[in-house]
Structure formats: structure tokens, C-alpha cells
Structure 1
Amino acid sequence: MASSTLKNVADTEFLPENQLILNAVSEGIYGFDLNGDAVFINPAAEKMTGWKAEELLGKNIHDCHHHSHSDGRHYPQEECPIYNTLQDGMQREISHEVFWRKDGTCFPVLYNSTPVYKDNQLIGVVAIFRDISMQKQTEQSLRQALKQVQALSEKLSSENQYLQLELANKTGDVGISGHSEKIQELIQQVALVANTDSTVLISGENGTGKELVARNLHQLSHRADKPLISVNCAAFSATLLESELFGHEKGAFTGATNRRKGRFELANHGTLFLDEVAELSLEAQSKLLRVIQEQEFERVGSSETIQVDIRLITASHHDLLKRVQQGLFRMDLYYRLNVFPILVPPLRDRLDDIPELVNHLIHDLNRKLGKKIIGVSQKGLQQLMSHRWPGNVRELQNVLEREIILSQGDVLQIAPITNNHSHNTLHTKLLTFAQMEKQYLIQVLQQVNWRISGPAGAAQLLDLAPSTLRSRMKKLGISRPN
């Protein structure tokens, strides 16, 4: 309608016989003389702006409608497209400006500024405009909806990537098998802490089932309907681990071709399981401590702070206290992680659980391998129970899987298992807090050649006042050796 009206108006002066047509169109129409004063205003323009024609005819309309940008900045008349058309006779179409109403409000407009000629002489300009508020709102809503769809798509894509990783090679349920005293004590501990948000540190030898305990803790918690996100801290270099945990922005480092959410962000409102947490670098330990304390972090390459609500479960086959004493693990982080410790017993300490474990594992392996094994022969079971199992439940699973693959019948016979493997037992010497603090302080002092104050002194490294450190040294009986 605007373009056809424009053609009709552009070829004629404002004569009385044309006013009925101009008054009937739904677009607002202003006519200007060579001085830029209003000579024609149609009813649609009056309705949109709130100004009556008699209030504006003969006046400079720029001062009424076009004096400011939408953000309030002054809009000089010499920059106005309508008045520019009066100077050069060129048609213009504008879609990014606003007109101001009589009541002081404004509305976005789409308008054409078209020169009017008579006998090849420029005699004025016609401005035809339309209120595009609804169009702008629709565009904004569509942009917001697209942004939400893109964010959801990214979230689902990332979650799918990690959930597929979690599901890979996972078979069976998350039940803990066994009726031995030690395993029942473990089950009781899991039940006590599962439905809290307390941080749990799971320790135990490799292959004992620490990840299984973590899955039970999550499954029995109020976060069970949220994600359980796992990461093996030993599987990544220090640089890649930071990106894995906290995510990165596009271009944050070589190879970062897309923005990626980290495990902390994916675990929001759910559970994050950090396996082999002792493998974290000291720098990563500092960042982990901050996330635990403040529940916030930044992606690599970004300054935007992201808030998270997670339940943290960690695991390690190392003695973390010993790592603290060696200066390989932060004491403050250790106490943050060790809120509720759970020790998973080695299989050799619960050999009575082997028959139940075997039945459970065979059930899962049948499903994984497409077999129909019904059990293990009595002789085979005795063989399994006489082994020391240095590789724990993981070794038992591997033995059964190998035997199922080789078996020609539905009962496993079990080939002889050698017992010449060395086993790795946790020997944790329990220390008092004072003993452990004394060892830690001595180690730090030795690292700085017993310098207490000043740059790179022990007090600065420990974030203590020098006087406080000297007081602690005196109380703990720490003195520099001769």
C-alpha cells in the first residue's frame, strides 16, 4: 500500500481532489514544503502520533516527531533523511528510527521520504510512515526464541555427548552385591549419606568398584532425576582437564573451534563424580577449591561467571593424606573433599561375596555378550574363591568375560588363575590434625629454605600473617634445624 500510494503522491501536488484518497489510506502521510514545514497531514498520521493537523500545519515537524533517537540522543535536523531529500531530491526508505507522539512516548517506524516534483521542479517532500511496533516485537520474540532453541540444542548436544560416554561399556544395574560384614557396612554408609548434599570421598584400590558406589550415591539421592556426570582426572593432561571440567569458548586455544560446556556446567543440579582426583595438578586443585567454596567458575577464554548447584563425589586409589604430606595435594582441598569418607574393601577381604558377585556379573555379561550361561561349576567356584584378586572385582569380571567367550556350554569351568600378582593394599596411618599440620608446615618451610616472611616466604604461600605462622610453629614445636 505504501509503494502504490507513494507513486500516486510523488507525481502530483497536494490538490483538494486528491485529499479524499490520501485521507483514506492506513499509512500516515506528511507533506512538506521546501522550508520543511508541514502542508498536509492525513487522519492516519493524526491517529498514530496524537497530534491534530491544525496543531502542526505550517510548523517544523522534525521538532515534534524526530527530534531525538530512541535512546534520547539529539537528532539534528540536518541528519534527518526527510530533510536530506529536500536537499538532493533522492528517495529514501528508513526502518531503524522512531517518531515521538504528543504524549512523549515513541514508536518504531518504517517510512519513505519521497521528493514531489511539478514541471520538473522540486516543490516538496512526502513522508509515508507505518507503525511497526508489532513487527519489532515479533522479530524480538523470534530472536529470543531462536536463542533459546540454540541454547537448548547446545545443551542437549553436550549432554548427549557425555551421557553416551557414560553409557558406553556400562551394563547392568547399580546394585552393590554381597552380604559380607564389610560390604554391608559399606551399603549402610551409602544409605546414610546418599540423600544429603555432602561431599563424599571414596577411597579403595583399583577395581574395587568406586564408580559403582558413586552411582549408588547418586541413584539414592534427591538428584537422581538429574544428570550424573563423570570425569576421570587421570585421563587428561593438565591443560585439557581444565577445559574438560570448566568448558571453553570458541577460539580460547588452538583447536577450540566451537564453544563447549564443561562437566561442571553439565552437572548443574545433578552430581559430578571426579574419579582419580589425586591426579589433579595443583593449579586445577586451586580452581576446584574455588568452585566448591563459591559454586561458580568461568569457562576457559571467558570472563563470564557461571553459577552451579552440584553435589560433588570424588574417588582415588591413592592415600590423599600421604599426598598432602608430600606436597602433591592441597590440605584445604583435602578437608573439603573428605567430608564423608567411604572406603571400598578389596575383594580379598570379602571372598564370601564371590558367589553372589559371580551370579550378578554373569547376568550382566550374558546381556552384553548375547550368551545364556547359567553359572559356574562347583570346582570353578572354589577356584575363584581361592584367588587373591589383586585386580579386585574388575579382575573377576575380566576372568568371567573371558571364560564366557571361550565356553562351549552353559556352565563355566574356570581355567586355573595364577596367584603371582602383587597386591596393592592401602596402608593409611592415622595422624592427629596437629601432627599432619606440623608435617605440612615443615614441608612448606623446607621448600622456601625456611624463609617465613617477605616475597615467596612461607607465610605468603600459606596466606597467613608472619606472626601467625611463627605462633603456630612455636605451638607445634617447629624450629629450623641447625
Structure 2
Amino acid sequence: MNAEISKNQVKEWLVETLPYEVVWFDEQGNLVYANTKFCNALGYKKSELLKLSITNINPTVTKESWKRHWELLKKEKSHHFIAIHKNKSGKFYEVDVFAQFFSNNGNNLICGIINNITQSSFYKQLIDYTQTIANVGGWEWNLQDGSLIATTEALKIFNVEDFEDLAPANIIHYFRDPERIKNLLRGAMRNATSYDEILETTDSRFIRTVAKPLLKGGKVYKIIGVYQDITQQQVRENDLQFYKEIIDSAEDLIYVYNKEGDLVHYSKSVVKKLGFSQKQLDAFTIYDLDMGLNPEWWSKHFNEIIEKGLLRFERIAIRKDGTKFPIEVSANHLRYNNEDYNCAVVRDISMRKLRDLKLYEALEEIKSLKERLENENEYLQEEISRKINFEKIICTSKAYEKVLEQVNQVAHTDTTVLITGESGTGKELLASAIHSNSTRKDRTLIKVNCATLPKELIESELFGHKKGAFTGATADKAGKFSLADGGTIFLDEIGEMPVELQSKLLRVLQEGEFDALGGTKTIKVNVRVIAATNRHLEEMIKDGTFREDLYYRLNVFPIYNIPLRGRKEDIPLLAQFFLEKYSAKAGKGFKRLSKKTIAILMDYNFPGNIRELENLIERAVIIENGTTLNPGNWMPKSNMKTATNEFKSFDDLQRDYIIEVLDYTDWRVSGIKGAATILNIKDKTLFAKMKRLGIEKKIGLKT
């Protein structure tokens, strides 16, 4: 018995003293034994490890893969492979595993002998991958044993097959200046001096040679480096240098601009003629040399040069001291390294223009001021357009920019849009903006006001009818959906559509087809639908006057058009627009609104929204006279309410809308049909907003 214990103790001592991690697993993948090295490697106590399984150690293992592994080892008895282990702190590392199948006291087990290879594998991959990066060949020279290793790419660069050919004693003979490379290597060995040089080879190629010494105990024990064949790049640089010398010798001023207008090169004559320093010119663009230009002009000019190849024109150049002189410009298109350039050859024509130079400068100054004024006006219009993206919508308020941002997001899609909001807020303008910025903008936007059509005629108006379909149908008539094929149809006041006709509209939205009244042939159409309403469709669904399935088909991308009292910053701008519009129609000379008039308008809540403001200004133009519109009997009485009584906060509106979307998706946040996709934001962003706004799913029993 004592001999047996002694024998087992010896075995355990041998396993514990092996320079490897040792672990045993049973058929279920449970860990039944581990030596101290394995415990230390994973950071567990032995008592903790014995409670774990293979899936805790190697997260890539599944029940199925372990079963296949067990059967393989049972058959083959041993297997060698690379695996990934995870330690107690959650860190992953790469291991080399030698697994054996064996029996112990009648129990079948797998023994794994494990070696951590993360660091060595990393460096091996690092040196292997250098050959694929920018065609660079890597090498390493060990000064202690004289060994040298290199990547395949390094051998290719010098067209050799043996590493010894790259040894310092041999590599120097591949360069035209062997003494230069010899001195560089000597400095790296003796003084730990790194270098990065471009050297010419004996076969007239240019090789970039880089070396970095590694120190141990203050002495260089290894040098690592790279070789890179940059012959083509060097040849191009030499060509450019040759051309630069030609340019610098010319008397004419020569400029080279890129597409962005940067001055990428210029002749020495530019420095002499204009008086700018080389440092100043190096940072210049076309706009620094000619302040009368703008990016739009330059873009058109550059594209014209590319199209025509050569443009000749006259212009005025300005020196550093502000003096001007007339020039003749020959702008040539250049293509280099897949980039377009404008090479402008400029000649001073002062002598030719001397007689009329003063007149020319005066006219040019007037022209320059006019162009600048036009450019500033154009820039202002572009700024307004940039903020709202649409020409017919007048807006400066941040609140309404969010509405227009939604319009901008959905315009380029074919998604059905439902625009809600009070009467007079301009829902039709939003629909027109969506259509005008869509891929269907070249086709007609068909507008239908469902509230103005008699119930007995609305079906015929929308879907058309055949001759004899009803009394008075004396000829075939195409409906609005047929006219809108390939374009967009705007269904205003959709809440007024008879419930019996809503199923037919639903069919168009779902299937893209309908039957004309009295027709026997199904008509296929490709129409984008934009609907609008000032009614609460959810309440109509509860009342049974609006189909729920139609509502969800229309409400794919909802846009709430905020009332005018929610965007008060726009009142002065809108009022000025209507003042100019109706002054011109009435033949009156109003130019502006007085500050007091604006203050009174800003103090009014406009229950009729923009339509009420427009009617108010039209009435004022008829009643009043002069150039400034002052307060009068036409002014509304203030009905201002406190913001707390009138509006919800932006967070409350945002919270309500997110909950509405979550209810629609059954509180699914992620995925194609999730709320984040509908709201066009990332999942993490939506979760963060829900947390900040205190949105939690309410769970209750359905009755």
C-alpha cells in the first residue's frame, strides 16, 4: 500500500514539475485534474478549476464540437492543434495543445499538454505580414550568433534565394555606392544609429533601406530593418524635378492648381512679379491670389478646363502691395498620378493695355464689387437653402429644422409618408419638398384634397372609371393614381376618405394595383404616396371611421408639422415674404415691417397658423399705405399663452414619439423591424435616449 502511494506521489510530482500546463477532461467535458501551472495560467485556484468545464476554458467549444473531438481522440488516440483559452479575468490567449486519450481506473479521459504561444505566434505573424505591406521586405540580423532571417519579399527585391545573400558582407555589393551602405551598417552596429536612406543599386533601381538597432544591456544585440523598391516613385520625382527646372526658367508666370484650388506649384517668376515670399505662396490657394473668386466659380472653371483641355482669357492680377496689372491666361488641363490639375501660363500684357488701363481698372472694380455683392447674396441664399434644403419653405428656427431634416432623410426613398399637424401649417409644401428632392422629381406630383371631393365621386377621381360605369360617365376617365404613375401622389386630408374606399387605397399601397370603376382589367402603377391630415387618426380607428391596417401602411415615416406658434422665430421672415408678395400684386410700395408690428405679431399665437398670417398681411396691404407697415386696425389681439400651457417640452415630445414607435414595433429596439431602424438611429443611441428619458416597457395582464 505504501509502495502504491509512493508511486502515485512520484507520478503527481512528475506532472507538477513538467514545464507545461497539464489538464484532464472526462467525456462530458468536465475538468477532473489540473496541475499547478495550468491553474496559474488561468488565474484560478485548483478547487475553482475542478468546478469548470471545457466551455469555460475554451469559449469556442460547443457540445457538438466536443463530442466530435472526443470521438476523434478515441479513434486516433492523440491530436495536436492550436486553440484559444480564456483566463479568469476574461483575457484570451493562444495555446499549443497536445491531446491524448487514456483510461484511468476504468474511466476514459483526455489529457491535454498545453503551451502558451501567444507571444511567439505574434512575432512570427508580424514578420510574415511585412512582405504584404507596401511591398516591403523585412529582415533581422542577430549580432550575437550572426544569423539573419528575412521575408520572402526581401529576397524578391534583390532577386536572390538565400538569406546569406542579404548578410552585410554580401548586401553591400548590390548597391552602386557600397561604402555608403557599409558606413550605415557600421553606425548601426557600433553606435546604435538608425537610418532611413534611398540608395541606387547596380542595376539602376532605387531601394529604400531602413534599419533600427535593438539594445540589450546598453549594447546592440540585434538590427531589424526593411527594404523597399521605390524605383518608379523615384523616377517620377526625377521627372518632376526636371520639369520644375524648365518651369522656373520661364519668364511667364506659371501656376499649377489642383481641383480644390490649392497652389501646388509655381515658377520663380511668380515670386519676383507678385512680391510674395515663397513661404506665403506655399500656403496660398487661388482665392488668396484672386479674392474675387469663389468655390462655385472655380469648380465650374476647373471642369470647363478638363472638358476643353485649354482656355484662354484675360484677367487682372494683384501684387502683394495691392497694385494691379492686366494678364493673359492660358489655362491647360494636366493629368498626373490620376489627379487633374490646372496649369495656368500667365503673361503680363501691361504694355498692350497701358492706354486704357485706368478705365479698365475702374470697370473691373465696379464688376468686382457687383460680383462680390452677387456672391454674398448667392451665399446667403445657399445658407438658407442649406438649412432647409428646399427653395419654397421659409425657415430660420431650430425647431422647424428638425422637421425639414426628416423631410431630407425620407425624400430620396420611396417610403410612404404621413404628414400630420394643424390646418394652415404648410403640409402641402412639405409634400412638394419631398417630391422635389426625390428620384421622382421629373414626374408630376398629383395633389388630391379628399375633403373637397364628394363621396360619390372620390373613387372615380382617384382610380378612374370606364364609360357607362355610372350615370353621367359618358367616356373613359383616367384616375389620379394613373396620372401619378412613376411619380408621387399627395392625398391631403386623408382622414376624410370614406371608410368603404379605404380598402381600395390599401390595395394600391400593398400591391401597387387597382381596378377602375366599371373596369374589368387590373391596372398596375408605381406611385409613391404622401398623405396628410389634421385629424387624430388613432381616435378615428377607435371610432371605426378609419382602418387600422391602412393607418399603419400610411404611417411608415410620420412627420409632425409643428404649428407656427412652435416656430415663432420664423414669423418676421414669413411676414416680410408675404408683405413683398402682396405689395407687388397691389401695386404698393411696402418694403419692411416696423419693429412694433413685428413685436405684436410675435405676441400672437396664430391659431390659423401660416395661412392666417398670410391672410392678415394681405389684408394689411389693402388697408394701409406707405413703405413701412405699421400697426393698425388689421392687427390681431394678443392671445399669447404661457409656454407651459401651450407646449410640451422637447424631451416630452421626444419621449412620446419614441414610445409610439416602440408600441408599433411591439417594443423591439434592434433589427430590420426594430424601433431604431424606423427612427434612423443606432441601437445604442436609442437605448441611451430611453434611459435618459425614463422609458421603460410597461407589462400588464391583457383582459
Q: TM-score, normalised by structure 2?
A: 0.36
Higher relative CO (Cα under 8 Å, sequence separation at least 6) belongs to: 1
Looking at structure 2, the residues matched to 299 and 272 of structure 1 have their Cα atoms a distance apart, in angstroms, of 17
User: How much does 1:225 deviate?
Assistant: 1.3
Looking at structure 2, the residues matched to 284 and 181 of structure 1 have their Cα atoms a distance apart, in angstroms, of 39
The amino acid across from 1:407 in the alignment is E
What residue number does 1:103 align with? none
User: Are the aligned partners of 2:604 and 2:639 in contact in 1 as well (CA < 8 Å)?
Assistant: no
What residue number does 1:376 align with? 593
User: How do 1:322-333 and structure 2 match up within 5 A?
Assistant: 322-333=539-550
Cα distance change of structure 1 residues 174 and 316 upon mapping to structure 2, 3 Å threshold = farther
User: How do 1:152-171 and structure 2 match up within 5 A?
Assistant: none
What residue number does 1:456 align with? none
User: How do 1:91-102 and structure 2 match up within 5 A?
Assistant: none
Task: Provide, for residues 426-474 of structure 1, a one-character-per-residue CA deviation record: whole Å limited to 9, x for no partner.
Answer: 9996666897899xxxxxxxxxxxxxxxxxxxxxxxxxxxxxxxxxxxx
Residues matched between the structures, number = 271
Q: Per the alignment, in what secondary structure is the counterpart of residue 358 of structure 1?
A: helix
User: Are the aligned partners of 2:583 and 2:589 in contact in 1 as well (CA < 8 Å)?
Assistant: yes
Task: Provide, for residues 285-311 of structure 1, a one-character-per-residue CA deviation record: whole Å limited to 9, x for no partner.
Answer: 111000111111121111121111111
User: How do 1:65-464 and structure 2 match up within 5 A?
Assistant: 175-415=392-632, 416-419=635-638
Q: Per the alignment, in what secondary structure is the counterpart of residue 183 of structure 1?
A: helix
User: How much does 1:280 deviate?
Assistant: 1.1
Task: Provide, for residues 312-362 of structure 1, a one-character-per-residue CA deviation record: whole Å limited to 9, x for no partner.
Answer: 100001122222222221111111111111111111111111111122223
Q: Per the alignment, in what secondary structure is the counterpart of residue 401 of structure 2?
A: helix
Moved more, 376-385 or 199-208: 376-385
Q: Per the alignment, in what secondary structure is the counterpart of residue 274 of structure 1?
A: strand
Cα distance change of structure 1 residues 235 and 421 upon mapping to structure 2, 3 Å threshold = farther
Cα distance change of structure 1 residues 411 and 212 upon mapping to structure 2, 3 Å threshold = same
Task: Provide, for residues 234-257 of structure 1, a one-character-per-residue CA deviation record: whole Å limited to 9, x for no partner.
Answer: 112222111111111222112222
Cα distance change of structure 1 residues 349 and 369 upon mapping to structure 2, 3 Å threshold = same
Looking at structure 2, the residues matched to 420 and 233 of structure 1 have their Cα atoms a distance apart, in angstroms, of 32
Looking at structure 2, the residues matched to 325 and 176 of structure 1 have their Cα atoms a distance apart, in angstroms, of 35
Looking at structure 1, the residues matched to 646 and 460 of structure 2 have their Cα atoms a distance apart, in angstroms, of 32
User: Are the aligned partners of 1:390 and 1:421 in contact in 2 as well (CA < 8 Å)?
Assistant: no
Task: Provide, for residues 186-215 of structure 1, a one-character-per-residue CA deviation record: whole Å limited to 9, x for no partner.
Answer: 111111111111111101101011011111
Moved more, 292-301 or 204-213: 292-301
User: How do 1:31-50 and structure 2 match up within 5 A?
Assistant: none
Looking at structure 1, the residues matched to 412 and 561 of structure 2 have their Cα atoms a distance apart, in angstroms, of 19
User: How much does 1:408 deviate?
Assistant: 2.1
The amino acid across from 1:379 in the alignment is K
User: Are the aligned partners of 1:372 and 1:410 in contact in 2 as well (CA < 8 Å)?
Assistant: yes
The amino acid across from 1:390 in the alignment is P
Looking at structure 1, the residues matched to 558 and 661 of structure 2 have their Cα atoms a distance apart, in angstroms, of 16
Q: Per the alignment, in what secondary structure is the counterpart of residue 606 of structure 2?
A: coil
Structure 2: segments with no counterpart, 5+ residues: 1-389, 667-698
Looking at structure 2, the residues matched to 347 and 260 of structure 1 have their Cα atoms a distance apart, in angstroms, of 40
User: Are the aligned partners of 1:174 and 1:215 in contact in 2 as well (CA < 8 Å)?
Assistant: no
User: Are the aligned partners of 2:603 and 2:638 in contact in 1 as well (CA < 8 Å)?
Assistant: no
User: Are the aligned partners of 1:234 and 1:276 in contact in 2 as well (CA < 8 Å)?
Assistant: yes
User: Are the aligned partners of 1:202 and 1:210 in contact in 2 as well (CA < 8 Å)?
Assistant: yes
Cα distance change of structure 1 residues 400 and 367 upon mapping to structure 2, 3 Å threshold = same
What residue number does 1:108 align with? none
Cα distance change of structure 1 residues 333 and 425 upon mapping to structure 2, 3 Å threshold = farther
Looking at structure 2, the residues matched to 305 and 312 of structure 1 have their Cα atoms a distance apart, in angstroms, of 19
The amino acid across from 2:499 in the alignment is L
Cα distance change of structure 1 residues 315 and 244 upon mapping to structure 2, 3 Å threshold = same
The amino acid across from 1:246 in the alignment is F
User: How much does 1:425 deviate?
Assistant: 8.4
Looking at structure 1, the residues matched to 547 and 477 of structure 2 have their Cα atoms a distance apart, in angstroms, of 28
What residue number does 1:82 align with? none
The amino acid across from 1:228 in the alignment is L
The amino acid across from 1:318 in the alignment is R
User: Are the aligned partners of 1:205 and 1:424 in contact in 2 as well (CA < 8 Å)?
Assistant: no
RMSD: 2.9
Q: Per the alignment, in what secondary structure is the counterpart of residue 201 of structure 1?
A: strand
Give the greater-gyration-radius structure (CA). 2
Structure 1: segments with no counterpart, 5+ residues: 1-172, 439-474
Looking at structure 1, the residues matched to 472 and 485 of structure 2 have their Cα atoms a distance apart, in angstroms, of 26
The amino acid across from 2:606 in the alignment is W
User: How much does 1:185 deviate?
Assistant: 0.7
Looking at structure 1, the residues matched to 474 and 583 of structure 2 have their Cα atoms a distance apart, in angstroms, of 42
Cα distance change of structure 1 residues 183 and 262 upon mapping to structure 2, 3 Å threshold = same
Task: Provide, for residues 14-62 of structure 1, a one-character-per-residue CA deviation record: whole Å limited to 9, x for no partner.
Answer: xxxxxxxxxxxxxxxxxxxxxxxxxxxxxxxxxxxxxxxxxxxxxxxxx
Task: Provide, for residues 258-277 of structure 1, a one-character-per-residue CA deviation record: whole Å limited to 9, x for no partner.
Answer: 22211111111111000010
The amino acid across from 1:212 in the alignment is L
Looking at structure 1, the residues matched to 580 and 522 of structure 2 have their Cα atoms a distance apart, in angstroms, of 46
What residue number does 1:124 align with? none
Cα distance change of structure 1 residues 433 and 216 upon mapping to structure 2, 3 Å threshold = closer
User: How much does 1:406 deviate?
Assistant: 1.8
Looking at structure 1, the residues matched to 429 and 589 of structure 2 have their Cα atoms a distance apart, in angstroms, of 25
